[in-house]
Chain A
Amino acid sequence: MIEMRDVGFGYHGGPELLSNMTLTLQPGMFHFLTGPSGSGKTTLLRLCYADLLPTQGQMSAFGNDVRQLSRDGIADLRRSIGVVHQDTQFLDHLPVAENVALPLSVAGQAVDMTALRDLLGWVGLSQHARAMPPSLSGGERQRAALARAVVLSPDLVLADEPTGNLDWDMSMRLMQLLVELNKSGKTVLVATHDLNLIRATKAQVAARVLRIANGTLQLAGADL
């Protein structure tokens, strides 16, 4: 799925933020990526969906060397990976339902309205289908972003600090959705600095916890 071997990355030719990263995302597994703010969690996720390219090492996504991907190849890769961005990234001039269906539109696929309604119902946004994104609360925006991330039924779902601005109940509600996704066979990688959230989620699903420390990736200890 995603394989990194001795991957390093530094912004604009500067010192490496990440170095000697070796990682294999195992299909069907729930992964947590943790580490302090600024440690490189978002950078690692951006490497996964080819928003950044490694400056060192080898990296492949779904069997393709990410450095060799054309622009269309990158677009195709992103259709295989659902991403919940930290800042949600909506088109504010389109209502929630159209934002959620947007990956289908840009992929040239017909929108199944029943499936779309079901999806909005799954994330608890049936009543907000026609609302405009700026009118949503933080939790609603994150759930809408999750719905958009999975509308193309990707094999891999990445979530970057999805609970960063949410209270505990809302955070757990969102994590529950991600656990459900994982139990339906999707591979999930959640970047978060919230260790309590990781512990609470691990009570519901077997999860592999990876920690970024000093620019390198380590498997977390037994405390997690």
Chain B
Amino acid sequence: MKRTDFRALSLGTLWQGLMRDGGSGDRIVPPTGFTAQLTLFSAGAMAFLAVFALALALATGRLADRWASELAGSVTVRVSAPSDQQAARTRAAMQVLSTTPGAGQPRLLPPEEVAELLAPWFGPDMPVDALPVPALIDLPVAGDDFDAQGLRLRLEAEAPGAVLDDHTEWRRPLVSAANRLRVLGIVSLLLIGAASAAMITLAAKAALSANGQVIRVLRLIGARDITIATAFVRRFTKRAAIGAAVGTLCGMAGIAMLPGMDAAGGFLTGLGFQDWGWLLPLLIPVVAAAVGFLATRWAALKMLGAVR
């Protein structure tokens, strides 16, 4: 059977047929309980999973941006020196930092804050004064002209013992991990879409194969390919859309019931949608319907090709 023989089954023509009221045309396809339930269930389950994959992709995207911006928003200068030179070198470092282009106002961390930072390791009652703890200066990054490498060289020359930490070592793996999670979310979405298409295609092929005799009878009495294909495509597109709509609503309800994003500030509590992000899952039933439409059309073309 030549491919060009199916000109009448163009996507546009099939879409127009789909939009028309099926009426008695839909009755030509026998009710097939098993494939109907299979399509509804698989579309629903896949849509449910797709909602979570979408939420994961969006949440990890936000996480990567937040980590990147928070860690890139300031640098830390650590000043280590013998105790009798500590104050002088710290002053020299503060002097360098306050004249650094693109940097905000440097702030020397008071001993209480330093003790707080060390508390997880040494406990709350540790006398920080008794330790040779370096002075810590927090320097906000205020502009794009901030040059970490240039500052590092100036500190080396003008404030020996002052070391600049721009959090690169921390930031890079964290942002990289978040970005990989985002890619995983997107890949999951694609895999869910592909698996949905495969299952709907299998269900459609099973239904078409089971109805081979129906298709043959219809061709014998003068049915055009478009009439036969539309009857099957309409049925499977509806099933995919309805199943996906139910699955999407369940998934969205599940996401909505997660703890609030600011409840603990953790990663899992951030697994949700924000603002317009809540509209994105509503695309899932539309995509599922499109997958059902294309998968059934493909299966119908294959089946009709075997019937003259």
Contact = CB atoms under 8 A, between A and B. Distances in A.
Nearest to A70: B5
Interface residues of B, number: 25
B74 to A, nearest CB: 71
Interface string A88-125: 01111110001000110111100100000000000000
Interface in B202-220: 213-214, 216-220
A92 B27 CA distance: 12
B224 A75 contact: yes
A109 B227 CA distance: 13
A175 interface: no
A71 B222 CA distance: 10
B221 A148 contact: yes
Interface in A42-97: 49-52, 70-72, 74-79, 83, 85, 89-94
A90 B31 CA distance: 16
User: Which of A71, A76, A93, A152 has the largest number of chain B CB atoms within 10 A?
Assistant: A71
A91 B227 contact: no
A91 B30 contact: yes
Contact of B220 (A51, A52, A72, A105): A51
B224 A78 contact: no
Nearest to A52: B308
B280 interface: no
B308 A75 contact: no
A78 B222 contact: yes
A72 B227 CA distance: 11
A69 to B, nearest CB: 10
Contact of A75 (B24, B31, B222): B222
A87 B269 CA distance: 66
Nearest to A49: B220
Contact of A72 (B25, B30, B31, B225): B225
B308 A74 contact: yes
Contacts of A50: 308
A83 B8 contact: no
Interface string B1-21: 000011110000000000000
User: Which of B6, B25, B30, B308 has the largest number of chain A CB atoms within 10 A?
Assistant: B308
Interface in B187-236: 213-214, 216-225, 227
A98 B24 contact: yes
Given A74-B308, A152-B222, A105 B8 contact: no
B28 interface: yes
A106 B223 contact: yes
Given A71-B8, A105-B25, A106-B28, A91 B225 contact: no
A137 B267 CA distance: 71
A130 to B, nearest CB: 14
A72 B7 CA distance: 9
Contacts of B7: 70
User: Which of B216, B224, B308 has the largest number of chain A CB atoms within 10 A?
Assistant: B224
A120 to B, nearest CB: 17
B217 A71 contact: no
Contacts of B31: 93
B223 A71 contact: no
Nearest to A149: B221
B217 A90 contact: yes
Contact of A91 (B25, B214, B224, B308): B214
B7 to A, nearest CB: 8
A110 B57 CA distance: 52
A103 B30 contact: no
Contacts of A77: 222
A89 B220 contact: yes
User: Which of A70, A77, A98, A106 has the largest number of chain B CB atoms within 10 A?
Assistant: A106
B222 A98 contact: no
Interface of A: 49-52, 70-72, 74-79, 83, 85, 89-94, 98, 102-103, 105-108, 111, 148, 152
24 contacts: A51-B308, A70-B8, A71-B5, A72-B225, A75-B225, A76-B222, A77-B222, A78-B219, A78-B220, A78-B221, A89-B216, A90-B217, A91-B28, A94-B27, A98-B27, A102-B28, A102-B221, A105-B24, A106-B25, A106-B218, A106-B221, A107-B222, A111-B24, A152-B222
Given A75-B223, A106-B222, 15 more contacts: A71-B5, A71-B224, A72-B8, A72-B224, A75-B219, A83-B220, A89-B216, A91-B30, A93-B31, A103-B221, A103-B222, A105-B24, A106-B25, A107-B222, A108-B227
